[in-house]
Amino acid sequence: MRAIAAVARSTFRETIREKLLFLVAAYGLVLMVSTWILSPLSVGAARDKIVVDVGLAGISLFGVLTAIMIGGALVHKEIDKKAVYLVLTRPVSRGEYLVGKFAGIMGAIGSLVGLMAVLLVLIMLAGRVEITRVLFAAVALSLVEIAVIAAVVVFFSTFTTPILTSFFTIGVFIAGSLGSDLRAFAQKFGGAAMQRTMDAMYFALPNLTVFNLRSEAVHGLRLTAFEFFAAVLYGTVYAGAMLYFAWLVLRRREFA
């Protein structure tokens, strides 16, 4: 645990120092403020829905983009320059290194998401928009979604370049967000081969729709504790699986 904590602290500090993180955070803040600027175009309940929907979408989108742009570069940089070898010469296993990297990245992104969530709540309070428990559940599941994507980034970064890591991860994010729709389309209009392919992708790729509670938060729909914790468990298991696959790749690599 000490090794994981040490790697996590180092990664957290390095991530916070990256100018790209502050750039993405700035865009996130601008997006949050824009919900308040644009909301006068609507009135009453419609205005409230705009604030909540755009605010939650901004948290999810900018959190995922930060994970993709920061995570892949940090891990690949150490592996490519073999700086990871210096870390692994200490009492740090490859598994602890990966978990520590993931924890550090998520610590930095969690701080960003927290700040954006606070800003969203302040905007809602200023606009007298009702704040519900589903809103906080939506933010929490957005963070779980980001954790899944961050684990995917760490996996790809163990064997490919940052550009390809970003490309592959964006593909996973899009497919995971549209997986149910693509599967339904294949079942209705595609042949047997296409249906089998879409079924395989549906079960292999993360189903990111389970983390999307924007509709529930916007329309005040009910969310059960079972649904929330089932989504958290699913995200935890998937992220853990991706880190395990990353470890399988990393343990075969030679850095000497």
How many other β-carbons are positioned within 10 Å of the β-carbon of residue 128?
A: 7
- What value does the mean pLDDT take over residues 27-54? 70
Rounded distance between C-alpha atoms, residue 5 and residue 75, angstroms = 16
Are 76 and 162 within 8 A, CB to CB? yes
Cβ atoms of 150 and 67 closer than 8 Å:
yes
Is residue 169 scored above 90 in pLDDT?
yes
pLDDT band at 39 (very low <50, low <70, confident <90, very high): low
Longest CA span, the chain: 64
DSSP state of 54: H
Residue with the larger pLDDT of the pair 76 and 4: 4
Does the pLDDT at position 33 exceed 80?
no
Q: What is the Cα–Cα distance from 256 to 132, expressed in whole angstroms?
A: 54
Model confidence, pTM: 0.88
pLDDT over 70, % of the chain: 82
pLDDT confidence of 244, banded at 50, 70, 90?
very high
Structurally, the chain folds into a number of domains equal to 1
* Structural contact between residues 132 and 221, judged by C-beta atoms closer than 8 angstroms: no
The stretch 101-126 carries a mean pLDDT of 87
CB pairs under 8 A, 24+ apart, for 226-234? 228/137, 228/140, 228/141, 231/141, 231/144, 232/140, 232/141, 232/144, 234/207, 234/210
Tens digits of per-residue pLDDT, 185-229?
767 776 777 778 777 777 888 999 999 988 888 887 888 889 999
**What is the extent of the structural domain holding 224?**
2-250
User: Do the domain assignments include residue 82?
Assistant: yes
With respect to residue 255, please indicate whether it lies within any of the assigned structural domains. no
Domain-located, residue 256: no
Q: Report the 10 Å Cβ neighbour count for 83.
A: 11
On whether residue 205 sits in a domain, the answer given is: yes
Contact 248, 158 (CB under 8 A): no
